[in-house]
Structure 1
Amino acid sequence: MHAIGLAVYPNFQALGLAVASVFEYANLYRGEQAYHFRLVSEEGGPVMTSQGFSVNTDRLRDSTYDTLIVAGDNDGQLPAASLLDYLRHASTESRRIAAICTGAFVLAAAGLLDGKRATTHWRHAQDFRKQYPNVLLDEDRIFVVDGSVWTSAGMTAGIDLALAIVEQDLGLETARAVARKLVVYHRRGGGQSQFSALLELDAKSDRVQMALAHAKAHLGSKLSVESLADVARLSPRQFSRLFREETGQSPAKAVERLRVEAARLMMETTRHPIEVIARETGFGDRERMRQAFLRAFGQSPQAMQRSAGREESVL
């Protein structure tokens, strides 16, 4: 049985509690107590959330944990120094130590992230870098695993991190079953960006939203203004005008952003050659894809893969 402790401190963000359901449903699916989950704090007893209600906790020092997860708060504030001392000690006894969102600030303050790769919520990344320059921060990641230390982005990314823990412990089938039970997609890969082109485009009307959803689902097809306008049930001229009003850019530029996002995810989660990725995401050839990456990221796909240690996949 795996002992999981979720460590909280005053004014923690209650959404972090959602990770408990991942381990609960893993137990239900397996029909056994694969995980023993406990909500813990430094002294035990009630701990106040940032929303103003409290939760009851066990005393952290009363047990040891296979995996100890530190919750985050809304501002990246640190708990008492004595809790940081305990985390340093716990890291030598636990197989994994993890943080959700700004919980990365806590691990960093305890010295547990020095020289390691980590992530946190993108909104707090600049402050994190200033405070902890010895941490290799990558804010554009859902979660990052570096040895025994796991960190995740914003609060919902804690669910992805917990699903990845279940997959490592109990296998892919169990993780997928838990994701279905929670009505979420099977966990996003750690390499997936925190940002979503669809969210950033922020379409208001159903017509433009339908066209964007169609484009994302058919990136390998020819996505002309005429074909997207047909999905939106508008003339090409009406569609182009409405699209630009709502998103601030042309349909062609938006489709390129969707393709770049999809291509980057394929690069991070597969070992397909660049030519295959370019074809699957609708660029057609590697040169068109290279130009799109230069516009979006200021570097080529090959350079991005080299920086991620995936150079062999472009050969």
Structure 2
Amino acid sequence: MPSKNAISRKTILFVVFPQVKLLDIAGPLQVFSDANEQLNDVYKVLVASAGGGLVASDTVLPIATVGLEELKDLALDTLIISGGSGALAASRDAEFVECIEKLAQRSRRVGSVCTGAYVLAAAGLTNGRRVVTHWNDCAQLQSDFPETLVELDPIYVNDGGVWSSAGVTAGIDMSLAMLAEDCGKSASLAVARSLVTYMVRPGGQSQFSAILSNQSKDNAGRFDVLHYWIENNLFRQITIEAMAEIAKMSPRNFSRVYKQHTGQSPSKAVEAIRVDAARRLLEDSKLPVKTIAAKTGFGDEERMRRAMHRNVQVSPSAYRERFGSS
């Protein structure tokens, strides 16, 4: 771990708005607060909002903030925009967005947690840059801000000093990575241990979502009935012919149209749905892996292991260890 006296103090400003998700601010804030305890106050941490005072979160706990107007002359190192259900409204507030843009110009790096990426994008800070947000908001963010290069799976992204993280707890991962950049890997690892979390989480954010929903571009829901049928028939062999019959198409036309509307082949979709079902059983049951492989149609453990590595980059045993119920 680096010497406590070797690290210059950096100012980190978190910006929140009404209906901010509490964990989006509390998780990253805890990382830097724990770093201060272990490294003798290497960070000056502030929480601000447009008007200052108490800001309502998505829980019963409000957040005490200073007003952005009070920070005009503040020397900033890092600016982080939290996420929450109020992010979209905040991104459409021209005065607020202009203030964020000015703060960003004075910051060495900027970042967002979850849907806070909307605010960064509205301020023009993500143009031509790789960005991630909550898996359920990726498509909308890309549609609203086509100049932004939205990625689906990373837990967090750092593209030239513009950081962004996926849903909710991913803000902790991003903050640990920022800490490693500032103070070294050993400091970040020590804080990760104190929080009982990974310094580098295995797998991407797709492991937390319904994988097909994450990957699908079928916004019209053309294949919803088919997907429901697949989910309820995982125990059997699912052929192209059977799926085409459910979709009321010829097999050849079905394969073409399905890929056109969802961005993946029918066989890949079936595998993704099998993996999602296996993932839920690994989380919620004590069934042996062999039994789960049979119930979800993989047939044997090795096939399921390979499929999980392809889809969520984690083995069944590692997934259960990390996410299974105690």
1:128 partner letter? L
Change (3 A) 1:95 1:200: farther
Runs of 4+ with >6 A deviation: none
TM value normalised by structure 2: 0.66
- Is 1:22 matched up with 2:102? no
Counterpart of 1:62 in structure 2 is: 70
Change (3 A) 1:75 1:89: closer
Counterpart of 1:9 in structure 2 is: 17
Q: How far is 1:76 from its partner?
A: 4.5
- Is 1:176 matched up with 2:189? yes
Q: How far is 1:259 from its partner?
A: 3.4
Change (3 A) 1:134 1:111: same
Q: How far is 1:255 from its partner?
A: 1.2
- Is 1:144 matched up with 2:224? no
Counterpart of 1:232 in structure 2 is: none
Report the Cα distance in structure 2 between the residues aligned to 1:104 and 1:5, rounded to whole angstroms. 16
- Is 1:165 matched up with 2:191? no
Report the Cα distance in structure 2 between the residues aligned to 1:138 and 1:56, rounded to whole angstroms. 33
1:206 partner letter? K
Report the Cα distance in structure 2 between the residues aligned to 1:243 and 1:157, rounded to whole angstroms. 29
Q: How far is 1:18 from its partner?
A: 1.4
* Contact 1:76-1:124 at 8 Å conserved across structures: no
Q: Which ranges in structure 2 are unaligned for 5 or more consecutive residues?
A: 1-8, 208-274, 316-326
Pick the aligned partner of 2:169 from 156, 174, 181. 156
Q: How far is 1:111 from its partner?
A: 1.1
Report the Cα distance in structure 1 between the residues aligned to 2:79 and 2:34, rounded to whole angstroms. 19
Counterpart of 1:231 in structure 2 is: none
Change (3 A) 1:153 1:50: same
1:147 partner letter? G
Report the Cα distance in structure 2 between the residues aligned to 1:62 and 1:45, rounded to whole angstroms. 12
Q: How far is 1:72 from its partner?
A: 0.6
Report the Cα distance in structure 2 between the residues aligned to 1:36 and 1:153, rounded to whole angstroms. 25
- Is 1:258 matched up with 2:271? no
Q: Using the aligned pairs only, state the percent identity.
A: 32
TM value normalised by structure 1: 0.68
Report the Cα distance in structure 2 between the residues aligned to 1:55 and 1:180, rounded to whole angstroms. 26
Counterpart of 1:236 in structure 2 is: none
Change (3 A) 1:27 1:165: same
* Contact 2:131-2:148 at 8 Å conserved across structures: yes
Q: How many residues align?
A: 231
Counterpart of 1:206 in structure 2 is: 286
Counterpart of 1:290 in structure 2 is: none
Q: How far is 1:51 from its partner?
A: 2.2
Q: Which ranges in structure 1 are unaligned for 5 or more consecutive residues?
A: 212-227, 229-238, 266-280, 282-315
